[in-house]
Amino acid sequence: MISVKNILKKENLVGAAGLGAGSLSAEVVLSKVAPMLPAGAAKFAPALPILAGLVLSNSKGFLGHVGKGMIAQGVAGVAKAYIPADTKASLGIGGDVMMGSVMMGESLAPVAGFSSDSYDYTSAAAGEMSY
């Protein structure tokens, strides 16, 4: 049986924080180090977080978890960079996410008949503040 006490142990929380920090660190490596690569090596840029993560993953404690988070983020980046577009579409990688009847990240304007002021009941003519 899963216990909240076991989930909220210090080791588990430190590990989760380390994985998250590693994922963010991988993004920093990509944004800061990748632009410094020569033109011929630019195609290997998505693998940089994996290399940095491998160096850190042998460490103990928090730093080891940071390395593992960098590896995970790096593998996801390499997969997104090198998996063909039709395969990504069929797997649902990198596309829009459907939440209810609206795509996340999309504006609501294309929805039939929707305009931003259609349901504005706070205007002066609404009588909302007339007591």
Q: Is residue 74 part of a domain?
A: yes
Residue 122: pLDDT band (50, 70, 90) is low
Region 45-66 average pLDDT: 92
Q: Is residue 58 part of a domain?
A: yes
Higher pLDDT, 80 or 115: 80
Q: Is residue 106 part of a domain?
A: no
Q: Could you tell me the residue range of the domain that residue 60 belongs to?
A: 4-96
Whether pLDDT at 110 is above 80 = no
pLDDT tens digits for 61-99? 999 999 999 999 999 888 888 888 888 878 777 665 555
Q: Is residue 110 part of a domain?
A: no
Alpha carbons within 13 angstroms on the beta-carbon side of residue 35 total 4
pLDDT tens digits for 2-44? 777 888 888 889 999 999 999 999 999 999 988 898 888 888 8
**Count of structural domains, the chain:** 1
Q: Is residue 36 part of a domain?
A: yes
Q: Is residue 51 part of a domain?
A: yes
CB-CB contact of 30 with 46 (8 Å): yes
pLDDT the model gives residue 125: 58
Q: Is residue 126 part of a domain?
A: no
Six token digits for residue 2: 């899963």
Q: Is residue 15 part of a domain?
A: yes
pLDDT the model gives residue 109: 53
Region 34-60 average pLDDT: 90
d(CA 34, CA 38): 9
Q: Which residue has the tokens 């142990």?
A: 9
d(CA 121, CA 98): 29
Q: Which of 96, 62, 93, 64 is nearest to 76 (CA)?
A: 93
Whether pLDDT at 52 is above 90 = yes
